Chain A
Amino acid sequence: MNDAATHTGLIDRINDRIGRAAAWMTLAMVIVTFVVVVMRYVFDAGLIWLQESVTWMHAAVFMLGAAHTLQHDEHVRVDVFYRSMSERRRAVVDLFGVLAFLWPMCAFLAWTAWDFVAVSWSIGEASREAGGLPYPWIPMLKTVLVLMPLTVALQGLSIVLRSLRQLAVAR
């Protein structure tokens, strides 16, 4: 195995782990929502922080899962033409796509989110609702605004390396 292959493998493993770990939160969302409903309709008790935790997990799931989804090629494509392209052609599309779209978008998202996240930590932000999620849950959630572009950009690197290898091999 050459260097590029090891790097791709490492990135893929990291993002796969993150995705599979985050996926457990989908089950937790179902169970917690069920509990919230039972508490409300059976025991007439509304637990705001519990309800907010479902939204929290939902956001964490799709932000932290973005790279994993990219790795498994499950971000939907308009594949009218892509479907019938050669491996080589596809590699060109993927390479160009990461360089022109994915990396700039990730860079921009991470860069604009940085201050937004830093402010939230520095003021010790908590939920605006009485009885909502306490500090540090809100800043933690905002931090995924930086983590998502970072992990997705890393997965982009894996795609770039793989596409280059594809182009080098399939002459």
Chain B
Amino acid sequence: MEWMAFLLFAAVIGLLLAGFPVAFTLGGTALVFAGVGVITGSFNEALLSGLPNRIFGIMTNETLVAVPLFVFMGVTLERARIAEDLLETLGALFASVRGGLGVSVTVVGMLLAASTGIVGATVVTMGLLSLPTMLKRGYSPEIATGTICASGTLGQIIPPSIILVMLGDVMTTAYQQAQLSMGIFSPKTVSVGDLFAGALIPGLLLVALYILYIVVTAIVKPAWVPPHEDDGSSVTLARVFSALVPPLALIFAVLGSILAGIATPTEAAGVGGMGALLLALLRRQLSVERLREIMRSTLSISSMVFLILIGASLFSLVFRGYGGDDAVHEVLESLPGGVAGAVILVMLVMFLLGFVLDFIEITFVVVPIVAPILLAMGLDPVWLGIMIAINLQTSFLTPPFGFALFYLRGVAPASVSTGAIYRGVMPFVGIQVLALILLAMFPALVTWLPSVLYGS
């Protein structure tokens, strides 16, 4: 009955396109398939009886407690207008340098775009924040939109990000399963901290490549990234200090304490949330009304994420019940080219799914199916996780279907043509592909830092 599993997968993708909320489409479609199977005797209904226990397992998953805490921190920083302030200050500081504003946008995107885990929301925020300024200062629409899309999506995979927390949790389970299937009964573990550490060098590599591209543009096509004359003098050292140092200190403290192994991601996120509140308070940006809004936003985002996880676990129960896992296993094992062939196929499929599904859905629906198989072939779990993350980010950037482009189109003025957005983002897609090739050739770019920090 494997074909039922594949039919279920195809049906879910098709039905999701109708636009009903993902969590319920996933769970509802899976239930219909299970129901048909129970009636025709091809599905064992006892498989579903463990569902409450599974959901309770999701509710009490210690790793994922970090998600709402990181969201709280991110939303607080956002509402306290820290990103705006940072961008304004950096932009003014480097205003007289050609390409300076573009570099500022990249840096701010890297630092502060990680709050929600929803690609659309981040790109919209970055677009509203920086596109008008860039256009007003004479940046070409191509370079402006390309920079915003790339840096807005990059923030998703630079730690501390909730995507990496979720991916880390899924990878932990997948790695255990893979090792058990290989007959290893004292399995090694992989943690969210490992993923944070593994993402750091590739993330910074991407930032460096983006900045290099902007600098090269400034030399080759100076008219695309003009300097801004009348500004720059108004920026005092004190203003730079107050805009830059507190949020940077907060992010470094949170990330540093996780990487140094002093605190768990959950603890660091909690302290980070407290720090963000303090920062907002000091900037006189925190009222009771705003606090309510921060709390409500945290609740909604958290609920959205975890309901998808519940829908996805119902989906994977049914998918597994129809033998879908084994079928995927067979396909991946039988590919020519062994491990490399399997990785390339999985990456290609995820890239295509990225046109329809966001990070969260792919992490919870697709990764649990394929990761145990790939890891059992001997791949490093941190490397695989980071490759998946960068691959998906690339997918979100690729014309004509990339998520990021749709959302930026939505907030861009009519004077910016869709063609300009497509042309602008292409060099960044090129950079992404280059980074993926580099990571495939030199896996140590990912695995070196975790091995030094955690000695695994």
Contact = CB atoms under 8 A, between A and B. Distances in A.
A75 B23 contact: yes
A43 interface: no
Interface in B44-59: 48-49, 51-53, 55-56, 59
Contacts of A145: 52, 55-56
B165 to A, nearest CB: 13
Nearest to A115: B52
A109 B295 contact: no
Interface in B1-48: 16-25, 27-29, 31-32, 48
A93 B18 contact: yes
A54 interface: yes
B380 interface: no
A76 to B, nearest CB: 6
B68 interface: yes
Interface string A132-171: 0000000001101100000000000000000000000000
Nearest to A24: B295
B296 interface: yes
Interface in A43-67: 54-55, 58-59, 61-63, 65-66
A9 interface: no
Interface residues of B, number: 63
A105 B270 contact: no
B234 interface: no
B72 interface: yes
B302 interface: yes
Nearest to A108: B31
A69 B299 contact: yes
Contact of A109 (B51, B269, B301, B308): B51
Interface residues of A, number: 59
A97 B55 CA distance: 22
B274 A65 contact: no
Interface in B358-415: 358, 360, 401, 406
B302 A116 contact: no
B62 A82 contact: no
A85 B19 contact: yes
A148 to B, nearest CB: 9
A112 B22 contact: no
Interface of B: 16-25, 27-29, 31-32, 48-49, 51-53, 55-56, 59-60, 62, 64-65, 68-69, 72, 118, 263, 266-267, 269-271, 273-274, 277, 291-292, 295-296, 298-308, 311, 314, 356-358, 360, 401, 406
10 contacts: A30-B270, A36-B267, A37-B270, A55-B60, A69-B304, A90-B19, A96-B18, A97-B18, A101-B25, A105-B311
